[in-house]
Structure 1
Amino acid sequence: MKVLEYTPPVPKEDSVVVDEDILPNFYDYFHRHKQLQLTLIIKGEGTLMAGNYSQTFKPGDIYILGVNQPHIFKSAPTHFANPQKGNSHAIHVYFDQDRIPNAFFSLPEMESISNFLASTQNGFQLPSEYAGYVTKILLKLRNKSNLDRLLHILKLFHYFSQEVRGWKSLGSGFANTSLSDYEGLRMNDVFQYTLEHYAENITLNRIAEIANITPHAFCKYFKKHTRKTYNTFLNEIRINEACKKIINSHYDGISTIAYSTGFNSATNFNRVFRKTTGMSPRDYIREYKSKVGHWANS
């Protein structure tokens, strides 16, 4: 088991490094690092966990992950069912602000960029309407030299600070709590088990056993580090998976989705789905189909 702290492939002389991953699956551990991370998903899908937040990810998504923000891009089960290189393809840009003198960011011309970087603690998802432009820049960064990479990433940060509106926060409104390496390993085990067994009846005793603490201690521990109960977290994962099945048309009906994602009844599934997404499953399906139809005709 790898430790929580992760060191990106960053040469000593570079403050910006571009890493292109073409692998059977995404890096499979809940981890953090001191560099700000900008990620473009080119191929592959799954669940993103960032701090105490989780959601599905798909090709075309672009994310900013804050300095030392624990995160994992957990590949969908289909990646592991057919483990071949190319299941996951992403470009990760690592920006180490500590390698640039503070006086540089104190310049008047850098004010908007400095303010933007300071706001990224909990991470962001780029709104889809800006993804085409930003994707072109990130693809070009692969072939840029050291200085060109730095200049281009600063211009990109300036664009983010001045032009982009409607960022989606990857935070719940609470600051990320600090995790020791040992706690990071424990949370990694809990997250991994949940993602792999969400469709099963995960009891409190079982998940506490995974964390190697008593059920009572686990409830307090999980709430402390995520600001939510484990049952709420588990339901969010299940609803994320249900939404993926709807989008991929992997269902024969509402009841099928409910039971395949771990719910013991369609009624309970409907209640949790509405609470999580703000709409019923049928309304979600109807809205998704209307969007698909609009895209097809546009």
Structure 2
Amino acid sequence: MKVLQFTIPVAHDLTIIVQEDNMSHFYPYLHRHKEAQLIWIKEGEGTLVVDNNMHAFRKNDIYLLGANQPHLFKSNPEYFEEGSDLKIQALMIFFDPNGRLAPILALPEMQLLQSFLQQKQSGYKVPTTQTDAIIQRMLSVQYAKNHEVVVKFLDLLQALYQDGNKGETLSSAKMASFSETEGIRIGNIFNYLMQHYERQISLDEVASEAHMTPQAFCRYFKKHTRQTFVSFLNELRINEACKKLTSGKFENIATVVYTCGFNSVTNFNRVFKSVKGEAPKTYLAHYFKNFKT
């Protein structure tokens, strides 16, 4: 497995780094890098984990991830199936606000944009009303040459800033600082849960996977993620349920319940409301209303 601290595999003689990925699935491990990352999901579906928070991602979603913010994009299980012809595509722009850009952002005229980036260190999802405008500017950065790259990038930042307060914040709580070894272990735990969430998972099982006693595992998980094992697993399952409910591939809520690791509809409804703040039917009504508009 890759180490947690991840160096982006591109030339580092550039201030603004553009990378386009076309692969069978996303890099599925928890990692971080010193650069902030703006990513446009051109094709693909799955789960985005940012710190200890989860979000379903789909085609044309755009996310801004903060510098050194732990994250992973986990493609849906069908992307890993043998013989699958599914692909992911993503356009990414990396930039280090504390590196070569720092003198530019420190200019008095750049105060608003610098403050915006500082406020968005927890990451945010670009609102759908702004998606087309941001895509066009990302493409402008991708195809710009020489000094025009910086000019086009600043125009992109300005566009992000204009509607930045309307975007969904990705992380409500930062994970605690940890070493690369600890990061690998946490990443292993996250991946194990994401691969087996659809069935019953006991505390003893996941503790054994982490080579700890159940008591030590509970303390370790809470210390490093600032979330209990049960609350993280519940959020993971509800996130997966939301993806399935909004996909239109399931006939009813009850069908989804038992494919996401819940043993009863009653328990599912209770956990769903505690995670999302509303009942499943209300969530779906709001989702499809917003989707149509």
Answer whether TM exceeds 0.5 for this pair.
yes
Cross-structure match for 1:125: 125
Q: TM-score, normalised by structure 2?
A: 0.93
Cross-structure match for 2:268: 269
Summarize deviations over 1:262-298 as a string: whole Å, max 9, x none.
0011110111111112222222334444455x45xxx
Summarize deviations over 1:28-58 as a string: whole Å, max 9, x none.
1110001110000011010000112111111
Cross-structure match for 1:199: 198
Matches within 5 A, 1:1-298: 1-81=1-81, 87-100=87-100, 102-172=102-172, 174-291=173-290, 294-295=292-293
> Which consecutive residues of structure 2, in runs of 5 or more, have no partner in the other structure?
none
Summarize deviations over 1:196-252 as a string: whole Å, max 9, x none.
100111111111112222211111111122221111111111111111111112323
Change in 2 beyond 3 A, CA 1:102/1:261: closer
- How many residue pairs align between the two structures? 293
> Which consecutive residues of structure 1, in runs of 5 or more, have no partner in the other structure?
none
* Separation in 1, partners of 2:207, 2:151: 48
* Separation in 1, partners of 2:111, 2:286: 41
Equivalent AA in structure 1 for residue 226 of structure 2: R
* Separation in 2, partners of 1:109, 1:29: 39
Bigger Cα displacement from structure 2, 198-207 vs 272-281: 272-281
Q: Is the 8 A contact 1:41 1:89 kept in 2?
A: yes
* Separation in 2, partners of 1:138, 1:279: 35
Q: Is the 8 A contact 1:35 1:67 kept in 2?
A: yes
* Separation in 2, partners of 1:290, 1:50: 27
Change in 2 beyond 3 A, CA 1:138/1:104: closer
Give the CA deviation at 1:83: 5.4
Q: TM-score, normalised by structure 1?
A: 0.92
* Separation in 1, partners of 2:226, 2:115: 27
**Alignment RMSD (CA, Å):** 1.8
3-state SS, counterpart of residue 26 of structure 1: coil
* Separation in 2, partners of 1:103, 1:288: 42
* Separation in 1, partners of 2:83, 2:29: 17
3-state SS, counterpart of residue 142 of structure 1: helix
Q: Is the 8 A contact 1:51 1:171 kept in 2?
A: yes
Summarize deviations over 1:169-211 as a string: whole Å, max 9, x none.
1111x33321210011001101101111001111111111122
Equivalent AA in structure 1 for residue 205 of structure 2: R
